[in-house]
């Protein structure tokens, strides 16, 4: 981890979330980790203190910097694919130490509990709530599962400018979150269904996948939930996401490795009703 903090080592772009309910934080950290500038920002907020023999992580609490001593990490927290702790592990532990594990574990808002805590960013969001005309010129809010052109532009420009962008699956899951999508089936770190991978493997494959959200576990004893994904790319047809789980599920309970998944814009605005931008 010290090499990663010093700039002499990289870390897995997948957070590989396990037993802690902090997708809002991990998706944010993935958002910073996808660019060199973002990685350097995360490094700049972590320093090694020789006297204390620990890392000191800078977070922000209501806009004020706090300096959290970190000398361990969560055993069931974020790690790389080889189960080794990363720089993201330090941020996760710092968050839990400062705000309390229950606050870390109970989910959160990506902009308020993720972006503003990590960077003190002036974060905002766009959503799929529109309006319809009512009586006497009044308008009523309505969930139309649509982002307008200006909102799509905000999302796309922010991704292209290296800002962290996180989508939240609090939309329509009447289809159980099943979508036609592509994932990084050849394991070369990107999605391309037309050309062979940079590792010489066959092009990535499309298929049926389940987005995480709604009544995901089909357990009547648990509440419906939402999940945070990092938006890593967007074009006129597709939105490419990174699931902080580090994998994506198929409808038959299968699992495809790697967190990347590419869905249509239509499926994004149907299932992701809230997009946070740092």
Task: Kindly list the catalytic residues.
Answer: 23, 227, 243
CB 26 within 8 A of CB 15: yes
Q: Which residues of 63-92 are buried (b: 16+ CB within 10 A; e: fewer)?
A: eeeeebebeebbeebbbbeeeebbbbbbbb
Per the listing, tokens 């350097």 go with 40
Residues 6+ apart with CB under 8 A from 181: 206, 207, 208, 209, 248, 261, 262, 263, 267
Residue 109 to residue 265: CA distance in whole angstroms: 22
Strands 260-264 and 238-242, how do they pair? antiparallel
CB 26 within 8 A of CB 244: yes
Taking Cα atoms as reference points, which of 32, 271, 53 lies closest to residue 147? Answer: 271
Taking Cα atoms as reference points, which of 165, 260, 166, 167 lies closest to residue 206? Answer: 260
Residue 224 to residue 168: CA distance in whole angstroms: 13
């Amino acid at each position: 981890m010290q090499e990663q903090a010093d700039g002499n080592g990289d870390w897995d772009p997948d957070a590989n979330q396990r037993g802690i309910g902090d997708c809002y934080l991990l998706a944010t950290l993935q958002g910073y980790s996808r660019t060199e500038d973002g990685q350097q920002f995360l490094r700049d907020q972590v320093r090694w203190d020789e006297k204390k023999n620990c890392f000191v992580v800078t977070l922000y609490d209501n806009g004020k910097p706090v300096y959290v001593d970190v000398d361990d990490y969560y055993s069931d927290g974020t790690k790389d694919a080889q189960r080794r702790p990363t720089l993201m592990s330090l941020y996760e532990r710092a968050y839990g130490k400062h705000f309390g594990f229950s606050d870390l574990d109970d989910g959160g808002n990506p902009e308020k509990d993720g972006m503003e805590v990590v960077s003190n960013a002036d974060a905002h969001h766009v959503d799929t709530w529109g309006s319809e005309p009512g009586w006497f010129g009044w308008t009523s809010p309505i969930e139309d599962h649509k982002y307008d052109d200006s909102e799509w532009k905000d999302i796309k420009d922010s991704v292209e400018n290296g800002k962290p962008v996180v989508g939240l699956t609090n939309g329509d899951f009447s289809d159980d979150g099943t979508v036609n999508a592509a994932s990084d089936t050849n394991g070369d770190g990107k999605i391309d269904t037309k050309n062979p991978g940079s590792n010489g493997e066959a092009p990535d494959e499309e298929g049926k996948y389940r987005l995480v959200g709604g009544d995901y576990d089909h357990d009547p004893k648990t509440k419906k939930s939402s999940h945070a994904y990092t938006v890593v790319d967007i074009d006129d047809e597709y939105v490419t996401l990174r699931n902080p789980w580090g994998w994506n599920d198929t409808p038959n309970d299968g699992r495809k490795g790697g967190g990347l998944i590419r869905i249509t814009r239509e499926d994004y605005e149907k299932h992701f009703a809230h997009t946070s931008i740092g």
